[in-house]
């Protein structure tokens, strides 16, 4: 008789409850709070990444056909950098921060203590399934928390590898990976967490936030949006074009939260920009980009159909000026540029998250700000290419976004000294570097006092003399304080 296939255990609400119970017991016992434990786990995470680079790259190739260079730069190397930074700086991050005190509490001293929140949930995304899973975990560990990681089921090879590696390298009594899809995520969201960190889209973010609200659980939401690129004239066009291409098609073939979503330029400059795109795209990906090994595929058939719908809309289908080729069997879409796309089209009213790039034309470059602000939403990133200082100043003052970059795209992601996060529809909260540590910490205020100088004015009976003395202490001059002490009117 053939052996029966072993059934995988069902992960339901009771299972989620047991996971949280185990991790909370470890946290309450103080296991995650010691500096030594945090260092040991971060070193183990770094070792796990270094020893398994080929397996990680292979999983990313299985899930997204991600080029090995992209896998290394944007996922493996960035995760290792986060681990090394936390190991280097964590002792300083943990140290209490001295705070000034006032005459109100004199004599006193004060400090702000960073304490771990407790048991936290990290729900990750599929587009950078290794980095976006473990980068928040670095911050959670550095801050001293117990962690459950829920990787995306849309990147199953990476999710499976993460579950295996984390169990083998890290402390499983404090750090766990839960695989699965909607039902498993729903079971996890029913539990009480001390923080939820979610990376993904706005629709699911609302579900996460509603679930968190039942327990008054704070959240970090790393979402997306339509990240615009303003291109001015009089710039180094070749460099600008290459940097836009690197941020658009060189980042997961447009499947990135900070990928350029659309371009705004003047009617006069659009032909030059378009010609430059055509030249550079052919140089990077050849005459038949569908055969290029340097472009990731679309993650699955649902997303391929969604992107095809954007291209096939009547308002848009005649606007393709470069690319547009599709291979449904291999889930490939060539780098595609569309010119003069109507602002009321589908492609201009939802995040593209793929290799399609519309170009919007305006009369003068300053009109770009009106186009961006008229959308009513705030993007995760916004980009400007210009040599004009006044235009840079207006860009920073006028455009509200999670982050801004002048004369490049997406590279702010690599700077650990900058917070990475959205605003409004593009998310809330931030991480990277110390911001990751802070995201998973509570800033506890501590005031120290002795028994000397006990102010009699704070105690009953409340006399007019005491009132005048308090008024003098809190807002008067030295003379008025003396007059109040002596009882002079």
- What residues act catalytically? 222, 257
CA 285 → CA 67, 74, 326, 418, distances in Å? 13, 19, 15, 32
Please list the residues that pair with 361 across neighbouring strands: 265
Q: Which of 21, 280, 316, 38 is nearest to 173 (CA)?
A: 21
Phi-psi region of 85 (alpha: psi -120 to 50; beta: other; left: phi over 0): alpha
Locate all alpha helices (DSSP H) within 320-403, ordered by sequence.
368-373, 389-398
Q: Is 483:465 a contact under the CB 8 Å cutoff?
A: no
Neighbour order of strands in the sheet with 97-99: 97-99, 108-116, 441-449
- Residue 200 gets the label, from left (phi > 0), alpha (psi -120 to 50) or beta, of left
Distance CA 143, CA 38 (A): 8
From CA 399, how far away is CA 403, in angstroms rounded? 10
Residue 21, C-beta contacts closer than 8 angstroms, at least 6 positions apart: none
DSSP structure class, residue 431: B
CA torsion, ordered 307, 313, 315, 316, to nearest 10 deg: 30
Token pair 């300083």 is found at 92
For residues 95 and 112, what is the distance between their CA atoms, to the nearest angstrom? 9
98-130 residues labelled b (16+ CB within 10 A) or e (exposed): eeeeeeeeeeeebeeebebbbbbbbbbbbbbbb
For residue 14, CA distances in Å to 18, 184, 191, 394 come to 6, 11, 10, 54
Report which DSSP code applies to 100. -
Longest dimension (CA), the chain: 105
Query: Which residue has tokens 């979610």?
Result: 198
Supply 404's token pair.
């801004």
Phi and psi torsions of 408, nearest 5°: -170, 180
* CA dihedral angle for residue 331, residue 71, residue 173, residue 180, rounded to 10 degrees: 0
Helix or strand (DSSP H, E) at 104: none
């Amino acid at each position: 008789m053939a052996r029966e296939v072993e059934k995988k255990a069902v992960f339901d609400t009771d299972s989620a409850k047991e996971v949280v119970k185990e991790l909370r017991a470890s946290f309450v016992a103080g296991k995650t709070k010691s500096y030594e434990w945090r260092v040991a786990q971060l070193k183990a995470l770094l070792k796990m990444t270094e020893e398994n680079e080929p397996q990680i790259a292979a999983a990313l190739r299985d899930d997204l056909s991600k080029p090995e260079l992209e896998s290394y730069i944007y996922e493996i190397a960035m995760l290792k950098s986060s681990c090394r930074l936390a190991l280097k700086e964590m002792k300083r991050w943990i140290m209490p921060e001295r705070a000034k005190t006032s005459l109100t509490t004199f004599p006193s001293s004060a400090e702000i203590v960073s304490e771990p929140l407790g048991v936290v949930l990290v729900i990750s995304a599929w587009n950078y399934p290794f980095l976006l899973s473990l980068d928040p975990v670095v911050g959670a560990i550095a801050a001293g928390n117990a962690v459950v990681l829920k990787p995306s089921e849309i990147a199953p090879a990476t999710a499976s590898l993460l579950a295996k590696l984390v169990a083998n390298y890290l402390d499983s009594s404090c750090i766990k990976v839960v695989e699965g899809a909607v039902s498993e995520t729903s079971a996890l969201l029913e539990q009480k967490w001390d923080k939820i960190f979610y990376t993904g889209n706005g629709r699911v973010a609302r579900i996460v936030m509603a679930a968190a609200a039942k327990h008054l659980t704070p959240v970090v939401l790393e979402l997306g949006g339509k990240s615009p690129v303003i291109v001015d004239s009089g710039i180094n066009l070749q460099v600008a074009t290459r940097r836009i291409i690197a941020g658009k098609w060189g980042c997961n073939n447009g499947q990135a939260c900070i990928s350029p979503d659309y371009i705004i330029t003047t009617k006069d400059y659009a032909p030059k920009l378009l010609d430059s795109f055509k030249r550079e795209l052919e140089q990077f990906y050849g005459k038949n980009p569908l055969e290029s090994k340097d472009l990731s595929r679309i993650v699955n058939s649902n997303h391929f159909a969604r992107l095809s719908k954007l291209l096939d809309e009547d308002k848009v289908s005649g606007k393709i000026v470069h690319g547009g080729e599709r291979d449904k069997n291999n889930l490939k879409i060539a780098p595609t540029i569309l010119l003069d796309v109507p602002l009321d089209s589908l492609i201009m009213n939802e995040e593209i998250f793929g290799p399609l790039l519309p170009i919007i034309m305006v009369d003068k470059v300053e009109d770009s700000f009106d186009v961006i602000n008229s959308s009513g939403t705030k993007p995760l990133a916004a980009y400007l290419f210009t040599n004009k200082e006044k235009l840079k100043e207006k860009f920073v003052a006028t455009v509200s976004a999670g982050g801004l970059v002048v004369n490049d795209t997406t590279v702010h992601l690599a700077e650990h000294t900058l917070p990475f996060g959205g605003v409004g529809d593009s998310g809330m909260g931030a991480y990277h570097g110390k911001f990751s540590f802070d995201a998973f910490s509570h800033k506890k205020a501590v005031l120290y006092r002795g028994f000397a100088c006990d102010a009699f004015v704070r105690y009953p009976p409340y006399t007019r003399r005491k009132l005048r003395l308090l008024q003098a202490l809190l807002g008067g001059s030295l003379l008025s304080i003396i007059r109040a002490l002596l009882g002079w009117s």
